[in-house]
């Protein structure tokens, strides 16, 4: 089976790495890919948002399955266009992808499905938002309603800072059209967890739990990023809690989308806050999370290609997922200055030495080849991922590998998985 994987980040490198293990895989193409995926298949120089060219390429190569990694082409209707061409596509339709692409849509859907989430309001006018935020006397969360690469969220303990955040989003246009509308929510208190599930339109198969680390600094300080590291499983999510999340969040949302004639297929990701009153939804994503994908797929023992085809054919109930009981930890190495301004083109060394450590795999996220040398080419550069017999061992292996890798300005958090270890 020939596959076209769309994307260029650490998530796509991890997916390509896992697909490559499948005995059913024929040729693997990655558009546009990165130096890591180039070692697993053939990179194709097509932008993820060039839907027409992607479909033409898939047709010309008689591709059997198109796997869409990032959120932008999903929201742009790539899956719809691929399926219209008679080719299987893994991922939701553009209409279903609104669950991530439009936080206002997600908020309304959660209310209609009685899914627990933070109280909040949606605004398309800055002055109305400002007046509402000014009326609050407790912490608020300000979110750009559209797609902002994980950076359009501001947690403000002082509502005055919430007004400044709204101004940055709506008046300074820091996130472009994604900030035409904002969602203003009450801040939820608790511990976060990432719950990913395969969905085939009617069946839901929940994956092993994980936990992301959004803020740039140790101790969850500083501005939000696309994710500075993750681990799996997340001990905060007990079997009882996972059952509750499935019953009270995932099932109602999938049912709600079906009632709206927008059946959901692909990976459904619920970012959940475990509060004193139970699990409450922070946000939904309509694809594999990054960097959660890296530790999750390190632990997946089943054939990923087989699962993806089952999702596309509505036969998810016919597959069985098997997991390595060993935990996995991913530490993201980023460019200095990220999530703000940063420089590209810094030479990277030490990956081969890092991967000589038992249980370590280094996934490329923001890298490129220049004059025969591997260089930085993004904010999040590498996802250094390791498994171990315990969380402590997995963390130790990951950081030992990080220390082998060098590039100018390299930055990473030092406390990934500490929450799990404390438990």
* Structural element, H or E, at residue 110: helix 103-112
Instruction: State the average pLDDT over residues 401-421.
Output: 97
Residue 44 lies in a domain: yes
Whether residues 301 and 344 fall in one domain: no
Whether residues 342 and 377 fall in one domain: yes
User: Count of alpha carbons within 13 Å of 156, Cβ hemisphere only?
Assistant: 22
Q: Looking at 91, 113, 137, which one is the last position of a domain?
A: 91
pLDDT tens sequence across 200-259: 999 999 999 999 999 999 999 998 899 999 999 999 999 999 999 999 999 999 999 999
CATH code (residue 373):
3.90.600.10
Residue 170 lies in a domain: yes
Whether residues 64 and 171 fall in one domain: no
- Backbone φ and ψ for 56, nearest 5 degrees, come out as -60, -40
Considering the chain, what percentage of its residues have pLDDT values greater than 70?
100
Whether residues 176 and 201 fall in one domain: no
Residue 73 pLDDT class (50, 70, 90 cuts): very high
Contact 312, 198 (CB under 8 A): no
pLDDT for position 126 = 95
Residue 351 lies in a domain: yes
Whether residues 238 and 291 fall in one domain: yes
pLDDT for position 289 = 95
Whether residues 207 and 312 fall in one domain: yes
Cis bond before residue 339 (omega within 30° of 0) = yes
Residue 311 lies in a domain: yes
Q: Looking at 286, 318, 350, which one is the last position of a domain?
A: 318
pLDDT tens sequence across 117-136: 998 899 999 999 999 999 99
Whether residues 385 and 413 fall in one domain: yes
Considering the chain, what percentage of its residues have pLDDT values greater than 90?
94
pLDDT tens sequence across 164-179: 999 999 999 999 998 9
- Bridge-based pairing of strands 373-376 and 328-334 is unpaired
Whether residues 280 and 204 fall in one domain: yes
Whether residues 220 and 174 fall in one domain: no
Residue 323 lies in a domain: no
Whether residues 159 and 197 fall in one domain: no
pLDDT tens sequence across 278-325: 999 999 999 999 999 999 999 999 999 999 999 999 999 999 999 999
What whole-number distance in Å separates Cα of residue 44 and Cα of residue 12?
13
CATH code (residue 269):
3.30.470.20
pLDDT for position 54 = 98
- Measured from the Cβ of residue 203, the count of other Cβ atoms closer than 10 Å reads 17
Q: Looking at 154, 180, 206, which one is the last position of a domain?
A: 180
Whether residues 298 and 198 fall in one domain: yes
Residue 100 lies in a domain: no
For the chain, what's the residue count?
423
What whole-number distance in Å separates Cα of residue 128 and Cα of residue 144?
15
Residue 109 lies in a domain: no
Total domain count for the chain? 4
Residue 98 lies in a domain: no
Domain carrying residue 132: 125-180
Whether residues 136 and 200 fall in one domain: no
**Residue 343, beta-bridge partner list:** none
């Amino acid at each position: 089976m020939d596959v076209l994987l769309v994307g260029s980040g650490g998530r796509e490198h991890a997916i390509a790495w896992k697909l490559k293990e499948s005995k059913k895989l024929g040729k693997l193409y990655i558009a546009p890919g990165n130096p890591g995926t180039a070692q697993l298949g053939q990179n194709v120089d097509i932008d993820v948002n060039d839907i027409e060219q992607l479909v033409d390429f898939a047709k010309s190569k008689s591709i059997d399955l198109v796997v869409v990694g990032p959120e932008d082409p999903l929201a742009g209707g790539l899956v719809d266009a691929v399926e219209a061409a008679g080719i299987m596509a893994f991922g939701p339709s553009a209409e279903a992808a609104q669950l991530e692409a439009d936080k206002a849509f997600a908020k309304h859907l959660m209310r209609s499905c009685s899914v627990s989430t933070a109280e909040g309001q949606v605004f398309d006018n800055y002055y109305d938002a400002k007046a509402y935020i000014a009326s609050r006397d407790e912490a608020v969360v300000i979110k750009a309603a559209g797609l902002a690469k994980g950076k359009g969220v501001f947690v403000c303990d002082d509502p005055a800072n919430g007004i400044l955040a709204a101004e940055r989003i709506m008046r300074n246009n820091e996130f472009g059209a994604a900030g035409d509308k904002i969602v203003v929510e009450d801040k939820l208190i608790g511990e976060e967890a990432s719950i990913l599930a395969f969905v085939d339109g009617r069946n839901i198969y929940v994956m092993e739990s994980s936990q992301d680390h959004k803020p740039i600094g140790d101790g969850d300080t500083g501005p939000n990023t696309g994710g500075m590291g993750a681990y799996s499983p997340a001990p905060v999510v007990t079997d009882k809690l996972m059952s509750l999340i499935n019953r009270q969040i995932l099932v109602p949302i999938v049912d709600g989308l079906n009632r709206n004639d927008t059946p959901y297929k692909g990976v459904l990701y619920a970012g959940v806050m475990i509060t004193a009153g139970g699990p409450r939804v922070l946000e939904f994503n309509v694809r594999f999370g990054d960097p959660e994908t890296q530790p999750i797929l390190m632990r997946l023992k089943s054939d990923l290609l087989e699962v993806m085809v089952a999702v596309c054919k509505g036969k998810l109930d016919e597959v069985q997922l098997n997991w390595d009981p060993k935990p996995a930890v991913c530490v993201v190495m980023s460019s200095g200055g990220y999530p703000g301004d940063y420089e590209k083109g810094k030479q990277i060394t030490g990956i081969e030495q890092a991967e000589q450590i038992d249980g370590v795999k280094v996934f490329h996220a923001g890298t490129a080849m220049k004059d025969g040398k591997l260089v930085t080419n993004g904010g999040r550069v590498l996802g250094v991922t390791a498994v171990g017999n315990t969380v402590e061992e997995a963390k130790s292996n990951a950081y030992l590998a990080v220390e082998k890798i060098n590039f100018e300005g390299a930055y990473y958090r030092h406390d990934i998985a500490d929450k799990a270890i404390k438990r």
